Structure 1
């Protein structure tokens, strides 16, 4: 049996990233105006608990229209995290439809209020200690390994079909796998294109690339950013106002990956020689240059890009919402690269807990919430890209610019964040190093210091 210290969910994971989602978590909140304007306010608290417990709101059986009769042979409990109202309503609707379609299975769902801090993982830890975890729970994609290593969720290899595996985009399978087994399925994907102000580009005579093949290299990217920077306008917005948290790993990781670097070894045993590799150092030196050249601000306003005070922005799908609401003339370009095109990936997912007495029925529910119909509907509600190729094929929106850029990134260049039970420390280490580079600090020295932190954490899982 694993040590109890390994069983508890790291406190930082519940606030992981609204960057991959536009809401409160890194996996896909509603992209309403409020979420778009507050993106980043609920970033990772770097593992510090705020001491608050989450409230639990019961839905389904109590007040959602489909009531259990008591005759169902299997009743399942499911937890989902709080999201924007429209997204939450979509989840409840799909769960009600599942209950209507399955006479022998009934799902009771609870919405766990997420305060952007540690409340969701506090609830999971409390349920784990008490032995009353639900059958199915929502989790943030980068933390699958933490849940799997802690024996909170179980492998689903025996339930998923080859047809399904082939339909899910590669990054979702990569995100959901740990130690050679598949543990979760994503509910939605996420990506970060390079947004640009079309009016400014036209004024400056700059042509934006629209395909992966034509994506800008770092040198081209820097040159354009410099050319677009004026006394009253930045060339680029990296949304540093989101704070030092998961956003910096989600947005910044591809700089390393596109330079043929990694944050941790493939077997997950060490970060030494990876997080502080020459490739990672060079990547963060490039970030340092962006700030030294004055093309990007450490303290951008909430609507810097939308107000025309930045010509370009590396942001998630929620920026399209805020840009549209601001009535600006905007477009998308592929993520810039050094050696090979890479783009951000990762979002909310579902896992079946090890305490479930009905894993096969629980998988039916997981499959329902991630099938083609669900992923199309969720994409329409949230603006996040879908997780299935069949969904992309069914949605005309992604056949044309600007959304074809996001589709191509999900299908061709998406790279999942590394799956390691030490991820909460690893992501904070990278975020701290990214921020240090932005501040102009010594990149190599900072990375070596952060590697020491990660190596200490990794030893916990090697005893």
Structure 2
């Protein structure tokens, strides 16, 4: 008879039954392990490719992941993993996991300043051969610079970004061509009691470094030398710092300048208190939605020049896609990364996510031009744009710049450039204490 699942028998039969059960129990964990690993075997279904990127509220990135998964015809499935919203949090999470050789990371969405650091640490793979050729074909030249370190391609540009000058035609019928012209226009508007502020990123953060980088490049200089081994700065840096100080001390300077980032600039413009704004294209649909009346007079123009004889060189932003050195499926990861930034997916990211594309041909796409009538101006800005210093020590360099130039109203141009030169030199040599 059986009682409560226990087989009542005697002698040898009891021992045989017990041994069979013990052997069966011992085999179960092994079977479970084998079954779990079968999901990674060839022909057993799509293998997961983990894509880590910034959080996207528009849904454009998830659409790209779904499209590419379907296009692979079952060979892989892209899993879109959202990183923290802040760039520092994104970098911190990836750095920690890569330092631990985490093989669950496949495709990495890198800020445009991270490729040299990640490449030098051997955390990402070089793009070579056919994959490299596909990555660079039709891609804008300046965004490709952000993906390159020591003449090797370590990522593929996914999207880019650049600033334009935004202004109100009811206050200034024609936009200024230079910073000096803009400050003069603002001063006249202030005398007339009209909105006159110039909104720009003056808080002590990455945006302040970007502002300075744009100005120094527009003045014919750069923060680092061509080999990124020592600071360059010099007279162009003094000129750039002077422009920042002059704005902060003029009627054009918003009293909140030293605390303002991109979104505060947008809100100030939408509230009607400003005449000019240096910002990214996201401000256009925002103004259209939030202040339709003011939107009727909201226009754009090229970023102002530092000197009339030199073109402006606004600093680009964006995200580059790299393949982790520890990925278990690098071949599929390279293929998937190319798919994620193909023509269809970049167009969706532009129309639904507001992310300017890195493929030149898309700037003539009717759908993009209709949604963004300033597409040609963005393309022109990208053609002459500048990139932030390409160095593994970029984080430290940026901290030095933003710390030294904050607040803009307190800048002593000559002294500030000397301080930056000394501290950047220390940062590049891993010496000294970062402010």
* TM-score normalised according to structure 1 size: 0.75
Once residues 448 and 107 of structure 1 are traced to their aligned partners in structure 2, the CA distance between those partners, rounded to angstroms, is 52
Shift of 1:76: 4.5
The alignment covers a number of residue pairs equal to: 376
Distance in 2 (alpha carbons) for counterparts of 1:72 and 1:340: 56
* Candidates 399, 409, 417, aligned match of 1:428: 399
Corresponding position: 1:236 with 2:206: no
Call closer, same or farther: CA 1:126–1:367 in 2, change over 3 Å: same
What is the alpha-carbon distance in structure 1 between the residues aligned to residue 312 and residue 54 of structure 2?
34
Matched, 1:258 2:207: no
CA gap of 1:120–1:235, structure 2 versus 1, over 3 A, is: closer
Is contact 2:351-2:368 (8 Å) kept? no
Report Cα offsets for 1:131-180 as digits up to 9, x if no partner.
21412111111111111111111111334354652411111111111111
Change (3 A) 1:122 1:217: closer
* 1:24-43 alignment runs, 5 A limit: none
| 2:58 matches 1:94 | no
* CA deviation after TM superposition for structure 1 residue 70, in Å: 7.6
Deviations 1:324-368 (A, max 9, x none): 122122010100112233122121121011112432221111111
Q: What residue number does 2:253 align with?
A: 296
The one-character-per-residue Cα deviations of 1:85-142 (angstroms, maximum 9, x if unpaired) are: 21xx222222122122213531342524415274333322332243214121111111
Which one has a larger percent helix, Structure 1 or Structure 2? 2
Q: Over aligned residues, Cα RMSD in angstroms?
A: 2.6
Distance 1:191 1:349 in 2: 15
Secondary structure class of the residue paired with 2:50: strand
> 2:378 matched to 1:406?
yes
* Structure 1 CA distance for aligned equivalents of residues 69 and 133 of structure 2: 26
The answer on 1:352 being equivalent to 2:352 is no
Normalising by structure 2, what TM-score?
A: 0.79
2-side partners of 1:451 and 1:435: how far apart?
A: 16
Q: 1:157 to 1:288 in 2, by over 3 A?
A: same
Candidates 77, 84, 96, aligned match of 1:107: 77
Q: Secondary structure at the match of 2:405?
A: helix
List aligned pairs for 1:174-253, cutoff 5 A: 174-201=145-172, 206-208=173-175, 216-230=177-191, 231=193, 233-240=195-202, 243-253=203-213
Partner of 1:331: 299
- The structure number with the bigger radius of gyration is 2
Q: 1:74 to 1:267 in 2, by over 3 A?
A: farther
In structure 2, distance between residues paired with 1:431 and 1:317: 23
Moved more, 248-257 or 279-288: 248-257
Local SS of the residue matching 2:197: strand
The Cα offsets for residues 226-273 of structure 1, whole Å up to 9 and x where unpaired, read as 223345633311143xx31111222332211011110101101001xx
Q: Is the contact made by 2:199 and 2:278 (CA closer than 8 Å) also made in structure 1?
A: yes
Equivalent runs, 1:269-348 vs 2, <5 Å:
269-271=229-231, 274-275=232-233, 277-299=234-256, 302=264, 303-325=267-289, 326-327=291-292, 328=294, 329-337=297-305, 338=307, 339-348=310-319
Gaps of 5+ in 2: 1-38
